[in-house]
Amino acid sequence: MIEKNKFKIFDAHMHTIGIFLPRNMSLIEYMDQFNIEKAILTTTNRAARPSDYVDKGEKEEEYGDTNNKMLKAFENYKKTMPKGQLDHQDVINLSKKHPDRFYKFFWFNPNMSQDQENDDYRTLENHFDNGFYGVKLHPILHLIKVPRDVLKLASLLEERNKILFLHSYPKVTFFNGMFTKDIVKLAKSFPDLKIIVGHAGYAMEYAMELGMNLKRYENIYFETSCSIPYALFSLIKAVGHERILFGSDSPITNPAQIEIDKILCLPISKEQKQDIFYYNSEKIIQK
Amino acid sequence: MIDGIKIFDAHVHYLGRFKKRDESILEYLEKFGIDKAIITTINKHTTLEKFNLLPDESSMENFDEAMFVEHFGLKDQLNHDEVLKLVQENVNLFGFYWFNPKIANDDDWKLMRKFIKEYEFKGVKTQMCVDLLKIPEDLFSLAEFCIEYDVPLFLHSGAGFFFQDAFRAKDYFELVKQYPELKCIIGHAAYTMEYMINELRYFTKFPNIYFETSLSVPYGIMTLIKIMGDHRVMYGSDSPSATNPDIEISKIMMLNLSRETLENVFYNNISKLIGEK
């Protein structure tokens, strides 16, 4: 039995399913275990399976050919990118059942053909009309450059007062990372767009840069899932605790408890912890 | 020991923000049930306070490696006296020597050799990000050193600062394919899912490459254990500088692994790698 955390929690990053959700448990029951009262909820990319990337059966002599390996890695990676938009019926169903607990976000793929563009944006607008609060972007999964490939989307979100959640990631073999300077450009171009930078403390150097480059942009918020505690502490020192939002990325990549513990262990006051766990997210949703 | 499983932490620093000032590192480790640990020094130059004093965004466009060096003053090797003292006084602590090959002179190499041969330090740690190393070219001599003394080389993973290249699995692959006998530990091995996925692509067939779990995503750790095997993944915490060990231990404990796997990940793998008697 998990000992209940005493802080009330608004989780700024949850998915509908994941390997850390026990089979016989609903998402609401899962949240109740951890005192998670509310959550920003999005769907799950069911096509992503890490085992697809494994080097299967290449001959020894192929080790030397790095370019060949890169091509194969990229080919395998492309399999995990669903064409078009993900279905969000799971998000809609859960939110309908528990309207006071979930804030729906649409996981959007802006990397579409011109023919598809109107349809995809219409789909997105329909979801906004049906109560979606924002968009989650996964730049590496959809191979999009920020801000270049998201200008139309950012403009729409700003106009409709919706939130943009940006997933952070490092530079990998076949795709450059999203740098803090890229987020600066986006924040400058769209000063009224509320942007949440996800996994904001995933590496020490990234968190330090975020703090340094983005502290002056008050439309930027920082979400804590998959982060290093010391990196979060560094961000808090740089931008203040009011712009830090607790997120777990559960039940996909983490059990929620681990992400909660990362905030609990920080050398900050109880009041600051409560703000990070709940009130900061509540404020940005209500703005 | 936790639930009857012995814990050997493969990544500990002698100092850090998460240890109380009046607490010794031994008391700290004992508090979290850690039986043994690989211990190294800490970089006191790249502090948070110094970083927050960096030029504002308008100057960032021109910020480069030279300015970084000037600001943080990383001109010498790190001091290991405290670590040596701890290792000599405690049989359950094993030293790793943090070395920056980019700025090393002959005396630096000599001193490291002394720590390995005479003081029986068990491995060499590198930190690509703050030591501004380029992979693989800055690590060739160090790889040869580690092979000569039969000690593992610890490779730090990270995103890199904006003025640096990131440390990609591909770059480490370029190093290890030239030195198949080199034993490497890739630290923070699943610090993001994307990075871990690249490791799967490059290192499945390199039995000398081990994966250390500190600051990793639990789903990434589980995938590494499943695909690389439980004999190549080892628990580490990077405490007390980056986090506390209980968080890092929980990430593995809650993966529903067999007892045998837990024993390998938490103790046996690092113990065997450093040739513990």
By C-alpha distance, the chain B residue nearest A234 is: B48
- Which band of pLDDT confidence, cut at 50, 70 and 90, is reported for residue A243? very high
Tell whether A272 is covered by a domain.
Answer: yes
- According to DSSP, the residues that pair with A167 across neighbouring strands are A198
By C-alpha distance, the chain B residue nearest A228 is: B215
The Cα of A126 is separated from the nearest Cα of chain B by a number of Å equal to: 32
Give the mean pLDDT of B67-96.
88
Tell me what pLDDT residue A82 has. Answer: 67
Checking if the pLDDT of A78 tops 70, the result is no
In the predicted model, what is the mean pLDDT of chain B?
Answer: 91
Residue B254 sits in a domain whose CATH number is 3.20.20.140
| Beta-carbon separation of A253 and B241 below 8 A | no
**Least CB–CB distance from A233: residue in B17, B191, B215:** B17
Tell whether A14 is covered by a domain.
Answer: yes
Tell me what pLDDT residue B258 has. Answer: 97
Length of chain B: 277
Tell whether B1 is covered by a domain.
Answer: no
Residue A18 sits in a domain whose CATH number is 3.20.20.140
Q: What is the pLDDT of residues A149-176, one digit of tens each?
A: 999 999 999 999 999 999 987 777 667 7
Tell me what pLDDT residue A64 has. Answer: 44
Q: What is the pLDDT of residues B177-194, one digit of tens each?
A: 999 999 999 999 999 888
The Cα of A118 is separated from the nearest Cα of chain B by a number of Å equal to: 31
| Percent of all residues in chain B with a pLDDT value above 90, rounded to a whole number | 73
Tell me what pLDDT residue B59 has. Answer: 57
- Which band of pLDDT confidence, cut at 50, 70 and 90, is reported for residue B63? low
Tell whether A71 is covered by a domain.
Answer: no
- Which site among B28, B129, B247 would you substitute to test the A interface, given the most A Cβ atoms closer than 10 Å to its Cβ? B247
Tell me what pLDDT residue B241 has. Answer: 94
ipTM of this complex? 0.88
**Least CB–CB distance from B160: residue in A50, A205, A226:** A205
Domain count, chain A: 1
Checking if the pLDDT of A184 tops 60, the result is yes
Give the C-alpha separation, A34 to A27, whole Å. 11
- Which band of pLDDT confidence, cut at 50, 70 and 90, is reported for residue A60? very low
Tell me what pLDDT residue A81 has. Answer: 64
Checking if the pLDDT of A62 tops 50, the result is no
Domain enclosing residue B84, as ranges: 8-273
The arrangement of strands across the sheet holding B123-125 comes to: B8-13, B36-40, B93-98, B123-125, B153-155, B184-186, B209-212, B233-234
Residue B189 sits at the chain A interface (C-beta within 8 Å): no
| Beta-carbon separation of B201 and A69 below 8 A | yes
Tell me what pLDDT residue A54 has. Answer: 57
Size of interface A-B (CB pairs under 8 A): 167
Q: Residue A241: count other Cβ atoms within 10 Å of its Cβ.
A: 18
End-to-end, the C-alpha distance of chain A in Å comes to: 37
Tell whether B251 is covered by a domain.
Answer: yes
Give the mean pLDDT of B132-141.
91
Tell whether A72 is covered by a domain.
Answer: no
Minimal CA–CA distance to B2: which of B235, B202, B188? B235
Give contacts of A255 with chain B, Cβ < 8 Å.
218, 250, 254
Tell whether A77 is covered by a domain.
Answer: no
Tell me what pLDDT residue B198 has. Answer: 85
Q: What is the pLDDT of residues A244-283, one digit of tens each?
A: 999 999 999 889 999 999 999 999 999 999 999 999 999 9
Checking if the pLDDT of B143 tops 70, the result is yes
Tell whether B2 is covered by a domain.
Answer: no
Tell me what pLDDT residue B55 has. Answer: 63
Greater pLDDT, B161 or A257: A257
Domain count, chain B: 1
Domain enclosing residue A25, as ranges: 9-47+82-286
| Beta-carbon separation of B200 and A233 below 8 A | no
Q: Which letter, b or e, does each residue of A139-176 get, where b requires 16 or more Cβ atoms within 10 Å of its Cβ?
A: bbbbbbebbeebeebbebbbeeebbbbbbbbbbbbbbe
Residues 6+ apart with CB under 8 A from A276: A224, A241, A244, A245, A246, A263
Give the C-alpha separation, B125 to B13, whole Å. 11
Structure tokens at B72: 């943080």
Give the C-alpha separation, A59 to A63, whole Å. 8
Greater pLDDT, B110 or A80: B110
In the predicted model, what is the mean pLDDT of chain A?
Answer: 87
Tell me what pLDDT residue B168 has. Answer: 79
Give contacts of A257 with chain B, Cβ < 8 Å.
250, 254
Q: What is the pLDDT of residues A1-54, one digit of tens each?
A: 455 678 999 999 999 999 899 989 999 999 999 999 999 999 988 766 555 555
- Which band of pLDDT confidence, cut at 50, 70 and 90, is reported for residue B61? low
Checking if the pLDDT of A189 tops 60, the result is yes
**Least CB–CB distance from B54: residue in A140, A212, A233:** A212
Checking if the pLDDT of B58 tops 80, the result is no
Q: Where are the beta strands (DSSP E) in A16-145?
A: 36-42, 102-107, 134-137
Greater pLDDT, A168 or B73: A168
